[in-house]
Amino acid sequence: MKAKVHVTLKSGVLDPQGKAVGHALASLGFDGVGDVRQGKYIEIDLNDTDAGTARARVEDMCQKLLANTVIENYHVDIEG
Amino acid sequence: MKAKVHVTLKSGVLDPQGKAVGHALASLGFDGVGDVRQGKYIEIDLNDTDAGTARARVEDMCQKLLANTVIENYHVDIEG
Amino acid sequence: MDGISPDIVAEHGLTSEEYDKILEILGRAPNLTELGVFSVMWSEHCSYKSSKKWLKTLPTTGPQVICGPGENAGIVDIGDGLAVVFKMESHNHPSFIEPYQGAATGVGGILRDVFTMGARPVANMNALRFGSPDHPKTRHLVSGVVAGIGGYGNCVGVPTVGGECNFHSSYDGNILVNAMTVGIAEKDRIFYSAATGAGNPVVYVGSKTGRDGIHGATMASAEFNEDSEEKRPTVQVGDPFTEKLLIEACLELMATDAIVAIQDMGAAGLTSSSFEMASKGGVGVELDLDRVPAREENMTAYEFLLSESQERMLMVLRPGAEDTARAIFDKWELDFAVVGHLTDTGRMVIKMNGDVAADLPIDPLALASPEYDRPWTPSPKLAEVTSDSVPAPDDPLAALETLMGSPDLCSRRWIWEQYDHLVMGDTVQRPGGDAGVIRVQRPNGEVTNKGLAITTDVTPRYCFADPEEGAKQAVVEAWRNLTAVGALPLAITDNMNFGNPERPQIMGQFVGAVAGIRAACDALNFPVVSGNVSLYNETAGEAILPTPAIGAVGLLERFDGSVGIALPGDGYALVLVGETRGHLGQSLYLREIAGREEGAPPPVDLAVEKRTGDFIRHAIADKLIAACHDLSDGGLLVALAEMALAGDTGAVLEDVNGKIAQHAWLFGEDQGRYLVAVRDAGALVSAAQAAGIPAQKIGETGGKELILQGSSLALDALRSAHEGWFPGYMAAG
Amino acid sequence: MTAAIIVFPGSNRERDMRLALEASFGRAPVMVWHRETALPDVDLIVVPGGFSYGDYLRSGAMAAHSPIMREVKARAEAGVHVLGVCNGFQVLCETGLLPGALMRNASLKFICRDVHLRVERADTAFTGGYQKGDVMRVPVAHHDGNYFADTATLDRLEGEGQVAVRYCAPDGAITDAANPNGSQRSIAGVYNDRFNVLGMMPHPEDATHALLGGLGGKPLFDGMAGALKELKGAAA
Ligand SMILES: Nc1ncnc2c1ncn2[C@@H]1O[C@H](COP(=O)(O)OP(=O)(O)O)[C@@H](O)[C@H]1O
Ligand SMILES: [Mg+2]
């Protein structure tokens, strides 16, 4: 199975990368661009066979390592 | 509208980040973890009203700024 | 046997004559894998086929030299059982295609060249040339290259202590990224690449092999054209953390007696490293590709042999040392595999899936590579520009302000603040002066009292105007920069960046530059111990300015004996040492203020350089000098301004130019000069006179302004011009 | 007194730290490899700068889960003094020994240069070599030094006096221009609530020699040596 994990900054946490991207887009002449937020996208191949177990394991991975829950949220999708 | 952009490394391109995450998960005791690939996830608020135009603009942004097309692929979803 | 068509031969960058030679060597047609091996081994990058003839004429020996060109890096004795190991290398083409990764992997590659020899890397340098600031790609390239160099060097924990950076439209389509690493080794624990001992195991360590940069070596030797975007190979991605592990693991293994020979896998990866090791040791090799750690599935022999995956090394071990070595690489969590053994056949036999994938004689491939005597035409000499043909400025201080805020003279702080220049804790002089200075530590981390000074220099506009004089100037400027901090110059590494050598004018530039380097090195006892050649730096027939970048290293017996450029405070006398004639041809004043790029560059008098530099070095050692700066781009007034800003101390200049027109006096770029701040001007001037060296007091330090005949320029205004350009330019994108 | 320095495979300022500690403590610290699971009996544990495990995911994230950090955490909870510098600060935050997180610099660029720090209190075991309000000049060298915590946490840190050092102008004034990375409230270093753990982004260890970066960081090491000796004496 494959897990797709999105790690994004909590709202209220300043996002220097997103801000810089927004600024760069504006200076490239793209108008009408509002807020830009940048996060991480992680794909993990798993040899689990049960989607429920896989999800629980990946959420555990997020808690322990993939996200810093002081500043970040995560979202897990399990496929396949 | 909102654009959600995934930027991922092309296959075959070394992914030191994914490699390191995979290694760390293994040493945290998560077994059965195969390949791990890490990419970027970017959310952009747009004041476009037409999904087609929005998509075209965001693809242009990917080409020009968000993705390094020498080593990365991108995927755009438009919402709202 | 695969059919090898003329098209396939051409795609591999081989001429039909070269292919005929392959048929002759093998006595049969090569298969595709073998053809691939020939193509990288005989590429310009690996074989130096156009440059060999000329490089052989460089002086490479001296009492201080332990190992000259031909190994991974040059080695020079610095006493007390220690040696300094250094080299500079280009990563021009990859950096143009993908600036971050291209520059990062350039740093990774040169680090490996140095620690391969048993040295701990202790300093990095970088010499960069970009296109015109107005070119649409320049900003993106600057930003990516600088981030890439920093990203790699900062993570491995080697300080980047200096470098150089120029802008010129000739680099619009071909930027130059030259990286240099300096390392320290115990003199009796140096490692070489010659493989010996039939039966000895061949071991692969580091990262796994993927399909990275296949044909990178041949690409580095091919001119760019319209469709190079299409032919893009897989770009190599650097992994500095793995490199850091590799450094530590290799140094740990080198403390044992396990290693017979070691070589990094650089351009042309496994192929060139194994051929070089075998050829140097006069042995044969048998490799089993099934044992090579692979990152991707279904890789072919061709791909394994030509891959340029980074952070890999090849070693020959003593029989029975495999377990010791494996334990160390396990500790550092790196791949380790015995992939073959040495033989006495003189052949390289490559096996895969039980078949022979390639069977090639080693010496004919490695040694009988083509050597060309390419036709060349000498570069025409240009006329002198006389100072009366160059308009004087209305206000010299306003002209100074303009110059100090111009792209080629402004502060490079924006660059070097992105580099960790302090890690290791030994940085004595940070970027911003004439040379970076570090305290020498032994490879085991122990502190010593010695210091090393490091610089990179070349003035491409001089080299374009006169390759021989320009290359001479590059060497003497490097020598002067080391001298100006009080160091004894030891040796150089050269990175020859030129256009297409198949054009006689370009080849003429190369030949001229080699002659200039030779003359300067001979006169200064300043041998070439390593180097690198990058040719075909052309896009659509437009060549770069000839750019023979010189990296140089000097020794301070005591690191606390170095001086910097910063004016130390009020009440010092300023003494100009060396003769001023007011040479304005090819000067920055001429280009930036008068808008002309013309004339002969300033001539170099090697005997005068030597005499003047030796005098300065002794005066520094005798504590006569409190601050010192050599005069180069921009001449006297620019040097003074740089010293004033560095020390936040102003100065009053006296009206002492005599017969020389004022603008030529202030902005001329005559060589062989130093500006020094001293307590006792009389003592220094008379010592200089006794040594037959012109020296005169030209002013005094004090205040927060530069004052010249009643007009003045506040340091704050000067500082904002000087510091403002780079960040302003980068932010404007 | 004895100090231990935790060494990760990607640590790169452990030697700088060793030299600084050796000079002030009069003896060499113990270097402890990240795979160890036990620590010797020491008075100070230092987590040095570098890129612990490459830090590709998030600075300090993986190091926080290393076997040795479990032990460091236990010691800290038992009252042993712990100093984390740069990557060490990041690791301590990820471990939960210190509040907050270190985000990418506002400029998005790595930054290496001297900064000035205002010492917010001089009555801890770390800062006895300074007076409250003193300004020290020391370098920073980091990509992720932008200190973040939510407003409530920041208010609490200020209220409890847990802000250790702030970026300031040479005269001690707190200004945006003096802040190299955009950190909240110019914070450069914080204590835990027991004041036995200090994390800071700047590198005092690279400012302990007159000719190698100056002496701005020297009082920190001398002060720690003095305070830890006293504590040890009192305990004995
Ligand atoms: N790419 C760079 N990386 C690091 N330092 C640089 C770079 N470019 C220039 N510098 C530093 O800026 C200072 C001025 O450079 P330069 O004008 O070339 O010096 P000089 O004229 O003495 O050779 C030097 O200290 C040099 O090391
Ligand atoms: Mg100079």
- pLDDT at residue C513, as a whole number: 98
Residues D204 and D217: beta-carbon distance below 8 Å: yes
C66 SS3 class: strand
Q: CB within 8 A of C70, min separation 6: which ones?
A: none
Question: Which strands form C436-441's sheet, in the order they lie side by side?
Answer: C427-429, C436-441, C447-457, C547-556, C488-497, C528-534
Please give the ipTM for the structure prediction. 0.93
Site from C124, C251, C333, C422 to mutate, D interface, most D CB atoms within 10 angstroms: C422
Residue of chain D nearest B21, judged by CA positions: D57
Task: Report the share of chain B in percent with pLDDT over 70.
Answer: 100
Residues A8 and B5: beta-carbon distance below 8 Å: no
Least confident of C134-138, C665-669, D229-233: D229-233
Structure tokens at C135: 């070119």
Residues C493 and C86: beta-carbon distance below 8 Å: yes
Average pLDDT value over all residues in chain B:
94
C189 SS3 class: coil
Q: Where are the beta strands (DSSP E) in D125-182?
A: 135-142, 146-148, 163-168
Task: Report the share of chain D in percent with pLDDT over 70.
Answer: 100
Is D82 an 8 Å CB contact of chain B? no
Least confident of B16-30, C75-89, D73-87, D196-210: B16-30
**What is the band of A34 on the pLDDT scale with cuts at 50, 70, 90?**
very high
DSSP B11-77: TTS--HHHHHHHHHHHHTT--SEEEEEEEEEEEEEE--S-HHHHHHHHHHHIIIII--TTTEEEEEE
| pLDDT per position as a tens digit, D103-141 | 999 999 999 999 999 999 999 999 999 999 999 999 999
- pLDDT at residue D1, as a whole number: 86
Q: Which of C154, C160, C165 to mutate to test the pocket of ligand 1 (most atoms within 8 A of CB)?
A: C165
- pLDDT at residue C226, as a whole number: 43
A3 SS3 class: strand
Is C632's C-beta closer than 6 angstroms to any atom of ligand 1? yes
Structure tokens at C647: 């020390």
Dist. CA C500–CA C543, nearest whole Å: 7
- pLDDT at residue C575, as a whole number: 98
First to last CA, chain B: 5
**What is the band of C231 on the pLDDT scale with cuts at 50, 70, 90?**
very low
Structure tokens at C528: 């070439």
Dist. CA C521–CA C60, nearest whole Å: 9
Identify the H or E element spanning C125: strand C120-130
Is C430's C-beta closer than 6 angstroms to any atom of ligand 1? no
Domain count, chain B: 1
Residues C604 and C476: beta-carbon distance below 8 Å: yes
C261 SS3 class: strand
- C262: pLDDT strictly greater than 60: yes
C86 compared with C297, residue with greater pLDDT: C86
Amino acid type, C96: F
| pLDDT per position as a tens digit, A41-67 | 999 999 999 999 999 999 999 999 999
**Cβ–Cβ below 8 Å for B20 and D53:** yes
| pLDDT per position as a tens digit, C389-434 | 999 999 999 999 999 999 999 999 999 999 999 999 999 999 999 9
Nearest CA-CA distance, residue C214 and chain B, Å = 12
Is D35 an 8 Å CB contact of chain B? no
Closest CA to A18 of B42, C45, C564: B42
User: Can you tell me the mean pLDDT for C135-141?
Assistant: 96
| pLDDT per position as a tens digit, C570-584 | 999 999 999 999 999
Q: Counting Cβ atoms within 10 Å, is residue C136 exposed (0-12), middle (13-18) or buried (19+)?
A: exposed
Is B63 an 8 Å CB contact of chain D? no
Is B19 an 8 Å CB contact of chain C? yes
Angle at C141 between CA C139 and CA C146, to 5 degrees: 100
DSSP C688-701: HHHTT--EEEEEEE
Is C159's C-beta closer than 6 angstroms to any atom of ligand 1? no
Dist. CA C132–CA C462, nearest whole Å: 17
**What is the band of C51 on the pLDDT scale with cuts at 50, 70, 90?**
very high
Task: Report the share of chain C in percent with pLDDT over 90.
Answer: 90
- pLDDT at residue D123, as a whole number: 97
Task: Supply the CATH number for residue B75's domain.
Answer: 3.30.1280.10
- pLDDT at residue C44, as a whole number: 87
- pLDDT at residue C223, as a whole number: 52
Average pLDDT value over all residues in chain C:
94
CA D158 vs CA D92, D123, D161: distances in Å: 19, 16, 5
pTM of the entire predicted model: 0.95
- C218: pLDDT strictly greater than 70: no
Amino acid type, B68: N
**What is the band of C670 on the pLDDT scale with cuts at 50, 70, 90?**
very high
Phi-psi category of residue C663: left, alpha or beta, with phi > 0 → left and psi -120 to 50 → alpha: alpha
Residue A49 domain boundaries: 2-79
Is C128's C-beta closer than 6 angstroms to any atom of ligand 1? yes
- pLDDT at residue C651, as a whole number: 98
Residues C85 and C443: beta-carbon distance below 8 Å: no
